[in-house]
């Protein structure tokens, strides 16, 4: 079979044998926003022409390809949601050669106030770390543009909350009054600057006040302009962790290393320990859904 993680900014594909073992992989900067005229069938056929010529197994996709802006909308499955529920609600599309393709649905939840939250793509990554988590209740954080904090209970996504941390960082670093004096992104984290931001997030006064404080500290000569980028990062991640992680002893992190080292550092200030998981969990999640649906080693369903 062929598994595809097709997100906003990238296209990643794996070819698997009947036991779910990886035979080949490839990727391209062809996220759904980079595909003109929503020509998803043609793009897939071009990218994987050689695989499709020799592999008659299922084609299973996850990510923003299942959003309203993607190939077809795969309706959100409600929490609690595990591999069974997701595999039963795959959306069907028609590939360029007439075969069926399948898309994993996103997940929707509601909090005590009745306010909804949604994920799309992360549900597959979460399924990919279930084996490492085991039974019981676990708290996960998938940091990113829209960070997800997830409660997993007995192999199901029980509830979750999204924090707009990465997007807020980008907005302030690019367009705000803080941007005027902010240094460009550096490879190495300024840990002292980052820790200042995390520490500030534990004070009263609120995020909107703390954001201005970065500007005021520079004007007062109490913070170097060179430190403002990582202080902003620490402040926002600190606010996210304070709001999301109340009382968690261990948080399971699933994400790129550049981000997980920041979250590990911030959570340590809050007295939380972390366990960092393989950031490449999407493949394991797609395999789990395929297995639940009986797509592994099978002809198209």
Widest Cα–Cα separation across the chain: 68
126 contacts its own copies (rule: CB under 8 A): no
Which one of residues 15, 163, 229, 293 is an interface residue with its own copies (CB under 8 A)? 163
115 contacts its own copies (rule: CB under 8 A): yes
**Cβ closer to its own copies: 16 or 211?**
211
User: What backbone torsions phi and psi does residue 78 show, to the nearest 5 degrees?
Assistant: -80, 155
176 contacts its own copies (rule: CB under 8 A): yes
User: What backbone torsions phi and psi does residue 255 show, to the nearest 5 degrees?
Assistant: 175, 180
Q: How far apart are CA 286 and CA 290, in angstroms?
A: 6
**Cβ closer to its own copies: 167 or 264?**
167
222 contacts its own copies (rule: CB under 8 A): yes
269 contacts its own copies (rule: CB under 8 A): no
Helix (H, G, I), strand (E, B) or coil at 25: strand
133 contacts its own copies (rule: CB under 8 A): no
Which one of residues 209, 225, 256, 273 is an interface residue with its own copies (CB under 8 A)? 209
Which one of residues 15, 146, 156, 288 is an interface residue with its own copies (CB under 8 A)? 146
**Cβ closer to its own copies: 99 or 242?**
242
**Cβ closer to its own copies: 12 or 239?**
239
Site for its own copies, residues 6 to 65, rule: CB under 8 A: none
Residue 77: C-alpha distances to residues 67, 81, 110, 130, 265 (Å):
13, 7, 12, 18, 33
158 contacts its own copies (rule: CB under 8 A): no
**Cβ closer to its own copies: 154 or 167?**
167
Contacts 24+ apart (CB under 8 A), 186-194: 186/229, 189/230, 189/261, 189/262, 190/226, 190/227, 190/229, 190/230, 191/230, 191/265, 192/227, 193/227, 193/228, 193/229, 193/230, 193/231, 193/234, 194/230, 194/231, 194/233, 194/234, 194/262, 194/265, 194/266
Q: Which residues bind its own copies (CB under 8 A)?
A: 76, 108, 111, 113-118, 146, 161-165, 167-168, 171-172, 174-177, 200, 203-209, 211-213, 216-217, 219-220, 222, 236, 239-240, 242-244
């Amino acid at each position: 079979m062929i598994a595809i993680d097709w997100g906003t900014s990238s296209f990643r594909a794996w070819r698997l044998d009947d036991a779910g073992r990886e035979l080949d992989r490839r990727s391209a900067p062809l996220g759904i926003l980079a595909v003109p005229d929503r020509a998803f069938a043609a793009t897939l056929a071009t990218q994987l022409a050689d695989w499709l010529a020799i592999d008659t197994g299922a084609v299973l996709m996850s990510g923003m390809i299942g959003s309203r802006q993607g190939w077809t909308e795969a309706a959100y499955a409600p929490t609690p949601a595990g591999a069974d529920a997701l595999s039963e609600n795959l959306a069907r599309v028609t590939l360029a050669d007439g075969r069926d393709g399948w898309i994993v649905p996103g997940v929707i939840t509601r909090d005590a106030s009745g306010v909804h939250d949604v994920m799309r793509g992360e549900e597959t990554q979460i399924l990919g770390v279930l084996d490492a988590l085991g039974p019981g209740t676990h708290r996960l954080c998938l940091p990113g543009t829209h960070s997800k904090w997830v409660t997993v209970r007995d192999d199901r996504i029980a509830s979750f909350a999204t924090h707009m941390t990465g997007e807020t960082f980008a907005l302030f670093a690019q367009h705000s009054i803080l941007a005027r004096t902010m240094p460009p992104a550096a490879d190495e984290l300024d840990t002292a600057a980052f820790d200042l931001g995390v520490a500030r997030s534990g004070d009263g006064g609120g995020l909107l006040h703390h954001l201005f404080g970065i500007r005021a500290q520079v004007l007062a000569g109490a913070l170097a302009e060179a430190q403002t980028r990582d202080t902003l990062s620490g402040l926002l991640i600190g606010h996210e962790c304070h709001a999301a992680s109340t009382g968690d002893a261990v948080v399971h992190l699933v994400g790129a290393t550049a981000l997980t080292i920041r979250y590990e550092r911030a959570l340590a200030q809050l007295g939380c320990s972390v366990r960092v998981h393989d950031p490449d969990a999407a493949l394991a999640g797609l395999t789990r859904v395929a297995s639940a649906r009986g797509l592994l080693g099978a002809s198209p369903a």
